[in-house]
Structure 1
Amino acid sequence: MTQPSPRFLIAHPAHFLALGFGSGLAPRAPGTFGTLAGWLLYPLIRPLFGEWQFLAFLVFGVVLGSFAIGITGRKLGEIDHGSIVWDEIVAIWLVLFFTPAGWLWQLAAFALFRFFDILKPPPVRQCDARLKNGFGVMADDLLAAGYALLVLAILKRILG
């Protein structure tokens, strides 16, 4: 298995995207760094789109990301290499889109998404195990995002 470097990152546009613009090169917890990069980029990207446009942008991010992850994963020798974090970025954007306003809600969204992405409750774990392609890498994070959104909705309902 190849360990990516800054040179690998810029060798192909797919690598740059799949490695989360470099956030996936973090030596420890690259998934957390990718999620953090997504959180930091969200307020810069979100105002550029209306609601439906942003959802279309996310769909485009899933499709483009599936291809970029497939290319990068094959080059690295592992389709779901730890340095591939575009899936975390798109998933946290989805979660933040539906998260109530305020940094505490966003912090909760971040923590819940990371929790479910790491824990991989059913069917996240099954998706991760069965779909060994770029879309599969994206899909398990989207399912983890769904769990995070469910818990956020319950918290919102309880807390008002």
Structure 2
Amino acid sequence: MDKALARLNLRNPLHLCAVGFGSGLAPKAPGTFGTVAAIPVYLLLAPLSSWLYITLVVLSFIFGVWCCQKASDAMGVHDHGGIVWDEFVGYWITMFMVPLSPLNVLLGFVLFRFFDVLKPWPIKVLDKKVHGGFGIMIDDVLAGVFAAICLQVVLFVLA
């Protein structure tokens, strides 16, 4: 475990959430592991009404700004790779109003990771220019929006 991650107190619920309940502690590809860890929570969210789903995602974003800032401060590093709550929220945005199926879960995962890793404009600008908890969260939110649009287009074309 690197020195920044060692500064976290995993008994602190904010730190534990920021690292995706431990998924962000993976030594390689923590963002990918964080997105995988977001899937079981998505499976719980999927049957909810669209209003309740989006309300919980918005509240998770607001919470994420706070908990990611607290973890970042404790680590002394802005947007450390181990902070993956932003991947959770980005994936949930990707999957908003997507019919639940194994193929759709996988397709949403691939599209979200694509946009989160590639960071096309303006995602890369936000990633570089916006700091703090909001900065940690917003690039993944936008990657989720891009992935959601692409996923909806794919589902429409395949229908």
The verdict on a shared fold, with TM-score over 0.5 as the criterion, is: yes
Indicate whether 1:77 and 2:76 are aligned: yes
Is contact 2:4–2:76 with CA below 8 Å preserved after alignment? no
CA distance in structure 2 between the partners assigned to 1:24 and 1:9 by the alignment:
14
Is contact 1:65–1:87 with CA below 8 Å preserved after alignment? yes
Residue in 2 that maps onto 1:2:
3
| Pairwise CA distance, 1:9 | 4.5
For residues 103-156 of structure 1, give each alpha carbon's deviation from its aligned partner in whole angstroms, at most 9, with x where no partner exists: 111111100000100000000000001111101111100110111112112212
Indicate whether 1:57 and 2:49 are aligned: no
- Uncovered stretches (5+) of structure 2, i.e. residues with no partner: none
Residue in 2 that maps onto 1:100:
99
With 113-122 and 13-22 compared, the bigger mean Cα shift is at 13-22
CA distance in structure 2 between the partners assigned to 1:154 and 1:43 by the alignment:
22
CA distance in structure 2 between the partners assigned to 1:158 and 1:42 by the alignment:
24
Residue in 1 that maps onto 2:31:
31
CA distance in structure 1 between the partners assigned to 2:150 and 2:140 by the alignment:
15
SS of aligned partner of 1:28: coil
| Pairwise CA distance, 1:51 | 2.2
SS of aligned partner of 1:98: coil
| Pairwise CA distance, 1:45 | 4.0
CA distance in structure 1 between the partners assigned to 2:151 and 2:3 by the alignment:
37
CA distance in structure 2 between the partners assigned to 1:3 and 1:92 by the alignment:
25
The residue type paired with residue 92 of structure 2 is: W
SS of aligned partner of 1:79: coil
Q: Aligned in 2, Cα 1:50/1:153: closer, same or farther, shift over 3 Å?
A: closer
Residue in 2 that maps onto 1:133:
132
Residue in 2 that maps onto 1:124:
123
Is contact 1:9–1:22 with CA below 8 Å preserved after alignment? no
The residue type paired with residue 44 of structure 1 is: L
SS of aligned partner of 1:15: helix
TM-score (norm: length of structure 1): 0.91
CA distance in structure 1 between the partners assigned to 2:41 and 2:100 by the alignment:
16
Q: CA RMSD in A?
A: 1.7
TM-score (norm: length of structure 2): 0.91
Is contact 1:32–1:114 with CA below 8 Å preserved after alignment? yes
For residues 40-59 of structure 1, give each alpha carbon's deviation from its aligned partner in whole angstroms, at most 9, with x where no partner exists: 22213444x43212211111
